[in-house]
Structure 1
């Protein structure tokens, strides 16, 4: 099984493993983000194939049922060493997710490599944790998580999945990683999602190196502000150390109790 099955040149059908955490009749947006990154890479490889993704900036426009979707990619800003590419994921003609991706020319800079970002312990040093104790849905059930939680809203954790993003289709490590990034907002909740809803409206990831390996690491902090707005921020890791950052703006909505 996989998260999506290709049904046409630009169309994809989600499987049951895409069902969401807030509502199991809707898609968890994480696999869709990976699908858009994959579409951007396919478009780029068909045109030239010499640039790499440095930024993925997604806007989530609304809920997405577990039904067939279509992806369109357009080159917004062509260039010799950088490109800005836009992609949209649609359901029945309605845009559901927008992506603006910067692609950049890689250069050799091993002598300059350095970061003050701290590494997190490896997966084998963290206890296994099942996110199904907090969240329902096929996507959450499909992943393996190892987590060291300091307090609600603050944790380091690793995530991987045995499922490919698209059935019988080669997908890059960047796109596979992008398909897991949106999970960050639910892995160290400040309050139970049965008491407060806190969906994210966007996700922006900056990558200063391409990820390697199956595990994606997160050093994550969740902040709730005083006026219904929150923020989830993560330093992203692979087995070799930090690889970038991601952020998600949150809409905090206390749920009515009967």
Structure 2
């Protein structure tokens, strides 16, 4: 898709082919502890529609996934024996469209269960985004496999999500493909006692790698797009009248996704006090794979 380069930044590449470039890795020693520090440059593909010089939440969330998987490999955790079951991301502040530094820590080591943390900071040392992942040993449980979720049409049955895309334009938004699919009527699954359920689901993908020269994994491919879940109810609130920014994201996968498309069936829940939640089911083209939750700060445009 066409790139938007209106938010130019001296540190970002003019003709990017990835969201980030990995510029340097060094070992940092603090007292008796040593850790690797990764230096990245953000490209214009990360640019947010919410503010000039800042990133959309999806690319740095994918960068957290990249770091967590690097950390798992360095800790001796093999994808032949296990995987991440959950990744959570806390957005500690606006992520600048500049040089970033990442570090990884094993919080809870273990042979069957491990907890890892990745932190991304700016050049001044301010932490911008923090993520944690639970790594679990896997085993064959095919005989009890089940997924409980509403069925959604595949991306081949949809149309470009112009109603959603027309509300924003930025390097990131222009880097993804988004498809809207109309949900078949199923009155038993509508929330008739409260607000009605969403009439549409969405499919999204990005063909740009998270980090230049590094192959995508199912987790990074997914994390490049799932942060858009909080904005997938454009018929509910006008972006000219309301802002609804998420401050976090927790993604759970009961099955690893296959393929480049991520399906998102998002439900926006807004409380009476300016706080809301997005609760979404996520899919690959074979069916449900997990869920994503976000805490939302809701405010009228002043």
User: Contact (CA 8 Å) 2:89, 2:130: kept in 1 or not?
Assistant: yes
- The match for 1:17 is 45
Shift of 1:14: 0.9
Residues in 2 aligned to 1:101 and 1:63: alpha-carbon distance in whole angstroms = 22
Residues in 2 aligned to 1:116 and 1:173: alpha-carbon distance in whole angstroms = 21
Shift of 1:152: 9.4
Asked if 1:186 corresponds to 2:234, the answer is no
Residues in 2 aligned to 1:117 and 1:213: alpha-carbon distance in whole angstroms = 19
Over residues 145-189 of structure 1, what are the superposed CA-to-partner deviations in whole Å (9 max), with x where a residue is unaligned?
Answer: 111367896531100112111111123121221121101112223
Residues in 2 aligned to 1:119 and 1:70: alpha-carbon distance in whole angstroms = 40
- Which 5+ residue runs of structure 2 have no aligned equivalent? 1-16, 26-37, 184-195
- Which deviates more, 170-179 or 223-232? 170-179
Could you state the TM-score of these two structures normalised by the residue count of structure 2? 0.81
Name the SS of the counterpart of 2:221 in structure 1.
Answer: helix
Shift of 1:65: 1.5
Q: How many residues are aligned here?
A: 256
Over residues 63-102 of structure 1, what are the superposed CA-to-partner deviations in whole Å (9 max), with x where a residue is unaligned?
Answer: 1121011111100111110101111111121001111110
Match of 1:139 among 155, 158, 172: 172
- Which deviates more, 48-57 or 225-234? 48-57
Counterparts of residues 141-180 of structure 1 (less than 5 Å) = 141-148=174-181, 155-180=200-225
Name the SS of the counterpart of 2:71 in structure 1.
Answer: helix
Could you state the TM-score of these two structures normalised by the residue count of structure 1? 0.95
Shift of 1:49: 2.8
Residues in 1 aligned to 2:214 and 2:286: alpha-carbon distance in whole angstroms = 26
Over residues 199-226 of structure 1, what are the superposed CA-to-partner deviations in whole Å (9 max), with x where a residue is unaligned?
Answer: 0010001111111100000111111111
Q: RCO (CA 8 Å, sep 6+): is it higher in 1 or 2?
A: 1
Asked if 1:56 corresponds to 2:87, the answer is yes
Residues in 2 aligned to 1:24 and 1:110: alpha-carbon distance in whole angstroms = 48
- Which 5+ residue runs of structure 1 have no aligned equivalent? none
Counterparts of residues 230-241 of structure 1 (less than 5 Å) = 230-241=276-287
Larger Rg: 2
Shift of 1:194: 2.0
Counterparts of residues 1-258 of structure 1 (less than 5 Å) = 1-9=17-25, 10-50=38-78, 51-92=82-123, 93-130=125-162, 131-148=164-181, 155-189=200-234, 190-256=236-302
User: Contact (CA 8 Å) 1:57, 1:99: kept in 2 or not?
Assistant: yes
